Amino acid sequence: MTENIIQMNSVDQYCQLFGLPGGHPLIRVVDLQEATRWPAHFTIHYGVYALFLKDTRCGDIRYGKQTYDYQEGTVTSFAPGQVVETIMEEGTRPRALGLLFHPDLIQGTALAREIKTYSFFSYASSEALHLSDEEKGLFQDCLQQIRQELERPSDRLSKRIMAHHIQLLLDYCLRFYERQFHTRTQANRDVLTRFESLLDNYFLSGTAQKEGLPTVRYFADKVFLSPNYFGDLIKKETGMTAQELIRNKLIEQAKEYIVGTDKKLSQIAYELGFQYSQHFNRLFKKSVGYTPNEYRKLQVTP
């Protein structure tokens, strides 16, 4: 990371960084071919939402410790709170279309309530979205609709219509990511197989006693994915969330300990990663319909 981090709290700040023309204070469709300044190395702490369709490779974009897996026809997306470093290749000029909008723009709209559901904003740097030519056309059409709305005189419906256009673009990105998940089926299944193996080993190796209850983040880190991307991948492959699969494995292992050993229930709770046995009792009863003690008694052959 560079020492000087730019606090990007407004759309205007981004436009000033590249010498782009001014416009609406809360939203802008930008074309970096119109830039008049070309910073070679900069780090942005985003306070706005941003999506960019890269038309050519021009350097490295780093989010966290990894470099974005991007090339021609790649969409990168950032949300408020993320810190992103960009290093431009010498002698190149970026060709990219982008949308930047401030969270204030969508306040009071349906999009404000749903913006957190667009999990791709939190995908890691190696999980960029790669578009086909047809998908690029749809992305560009959405940007054009937003640009046209920005050119109209503002009225009482402007904010709602603008939010609708943004949400349409985000929905298309969700669709494109689903296609990308599908076209990477074998790689996804490899991740799923690895997850299942890691989950089994978590309890058999005694890791639960050291680390506590297993988390989605723990397994995402082990397969080198962001928690959001990992969770979405698992849901696409299994129809269940990663958290649901973890809970099912936890209950399955608990049943084995309860029925197959004479261990005290407090010891079983500890070996499964619970800090308090009462928590174990509540979760087990919620999942199975019986307390651990009741379940053990039911399994005893008369």
CA distances from 286 to 14, 258, 293 (A): 50, 16, 14
Pairing assessment for the beta strands 74-78 and 83-88 based on DSSP bridges: unpaired
Q: Where are the domains of the chain?
A: 5-183, 186-299
- Eight-class DSSP state of 87: E
For 211-235, the pLDDT digits (tens) are 999 999 999 999 888 899 999 999 9
Cα 100 from Cα 15, distance rounded (Å) = 10
Q: Please give the CATH number for the structural domain made up of 5-183.
A: 2.60.120.280
Pairing assessment for the beta strands 5-8 and 41-46 based on DSSP bridges: parallel
Cα 154 from Cα 135, distance rounded (Å) = 30
Q: Give backbone dihedrals phi and psi of 74, rounded to 5 degrees, phi first.
A: -110, 140
Specify whether the backbone of 212 is left (phi greater than 0), alpha (psi in -120 to 50) or beta.
Answer: left
CA distances from 241 to 48, 116, 236 (A): 29, 17, 9
* Overall CATH class of domain 186-299: mainly alpha
For 237-286, the pLDDT digits (tens) are 899 999 999 999 999 999 999 998 999 999 999 999 999 999 999 999 99
Predicted confidence at residue 63, as pLDDT, reads 41
Cα 265 from Cα 243, distance rounded (Å) = 23
pLDDT at 22 over 80: yes
Cα 282 from Cα 285, distance rounded (Å) = 5
Cα 209 from Cα 274, distance rounded (Å) = 8
pLDDT at 31 over 90: yes
Q: Are 163 and 169 in contact (CB under 8 A)?
A: no
Report the 10 Å Cβ neighbour count for 39.
12
Cα 272 from Cα 291, distance rounded (Å) = 16
Bridge partners of 75? 53, 129
Report the 10 Å Cβ neighbour count for 273.
20
Predicted confidence at residue 89, as pLDDT, reads 73
Predicted confidence at residue 128, as pLDDT, reads 80
Cα 189 from Cα 132, distance rounded (Å) = 23
